[in-house]
């Protein structure tokens, strides 16, 4: 297990961070269809329902399926998980 920095709960180490770049998102809705428990369309753009999530394959699928690569999934240390560079 990786060392957890001060001020961070140990449970955060096993969580992912989800970010949708609003300048890249075109509101295709693929993410909301692939992972409805994690994404919603608001005013025509995708928004994650939570910034820190428990790892979920459907979120990786959504990130990999985004036609604009607007969804970035990273681990607790900030290393990019999806989409693959």
Domain chopping of the chain, boundaries:
23-82
Q: Measure CA 13 to chain center.
A: 15
Closest CA to 24 of 67, 65, 66, 70: 70
Residues 41-79 have pLDDT tens digits of 999 999 999 999 999 999 999 999 999 999 999 998 999
pLDDT at 13: 63
For domain 23-82, give the CATH number.
Answer: 3.30.70.20
Q: What is the pLDDT of residues 3-38, one digit of tens each?
A: 333 334 445 568 999 999 999 999 999 999 999 999
């Amino acid at each position: 297990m990786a060392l957890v920095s001060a001020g961070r709960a140990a449970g955060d180490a096993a969580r992912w961070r989800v970010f949708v770049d609003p300048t890249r998102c075109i509101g295709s809705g693929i993410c909301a269809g692939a992972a409805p428990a994690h994404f919603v369309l608001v005013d025509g753009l995708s928004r994650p329902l939570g910034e820190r999530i428990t790892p979920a394959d459907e979120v990786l699928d959504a990130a990999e399926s985004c036609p604009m690569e607007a969804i970035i999934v990273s681990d607790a240390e900030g290393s990019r998980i999806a989409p693959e560079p």
